[in-house]
Amino acid sequence: MTTQDSLETLMRLMPPRPGDGLTVDWAAVEAAWGLEFPPDFKGFVARYGEDFPDEDLSVIVPTEVTPQTCDEPGAPMGGMGFITADARATWAITEPTGLDAVPEDLVAWGAASSADLYCWLTQGEPADWPVVVFSHGDDTWTRFGYGMTEFLCRVIQADAGVQPMHDIPLWGRSVS
């Protein structure tokens, strides 16, 4: 599934509410982060903003605050920089096995009320970044071989490929 296809499928499964999308100065954000964000994520933010229709999962919209600057005075707590710093620290502490990455390869795009963390492994082209999820309940990381919007589509459709996510409220929640 292409990133455009997965975004269109997601919008069909869980239509964004009018007015939810956000405009982001992607050039400034990407310059601050030193990376390009995935195209499906940019499309998601433009349509959903940070108000994805699920009470458990919060999608984090990036700002110019990075993991390196998130502790500076005046930096917003809870933003993508802060959550990414937390994800990287968690990765280092939990020492995941079977995943060839270092903490700096992680960028968090979402968080759950259960303290689960939703991240990308920023290896390769942004459109190809896989999702990795930290499950706070059992302190494990799971890698999924697709991007953010395809991951969300699969969870909403209760796809067997994302079975580890079956306990979250978004599981099988398609509205179409």
Q: The pTM is what?
A: 0.89
Q: Are the C-beta atoms of residues 131 and 120 closer than 8 Å to each other?
A: yes
Give the per-residue pLDDT at 36.
Answer: 97
- Between these two residues, 166 and 5, which has the higher pLDDT value? 5
Segment 88-119, tens digit of pLDDT: 999 999 988 889 999 999 999 998 877 889 99
Return the pLDDT at 111.
Answer: 86
Which residue from 27, 23, 50 is spatially nearest to 37, judged by alpha carbons?
27
The three-state DSSP-derived secondary structure of 25-61 is: CHHHHHHHHCCCCCHHHHHHHHHHCCCCCCCCEEECC
pLDDT in tens, 8-25: 999 998 888 888 889 999
Q: Is the pLDDT of residue 168 over 70?
A: no
Res 158: pLDDT: 80
Q: Which residues contact 37 (CB under 8 A, 6 or more apart)?
A: 26, 29, 30, 62, 126
Quick one: what percent of the chain has pLDDT higher than 90? 50
- For helices 148-156 and 3-13, give the axis angle rounded to 10 degrees: 40
Q: Name which of 71, 70, 132, 69 is nearest 98 in CA terms.
A: 132
pLDDT at 55: 63
Output the pLDDT for position 149. Answer: 94
pLDDT recorded at residue 89: 94
pLDDT for residue 173 is more than 90:
no
pLDDT digits (tens, 9 = 90+) for 128-165: 999 999 988 788 899 999 999 999 998 888 887 776 66
pLDDT in tens, 42-96: 999 999 988 676 667 789 999 998 888 888 887 777 789 999 999 999 999 998 8
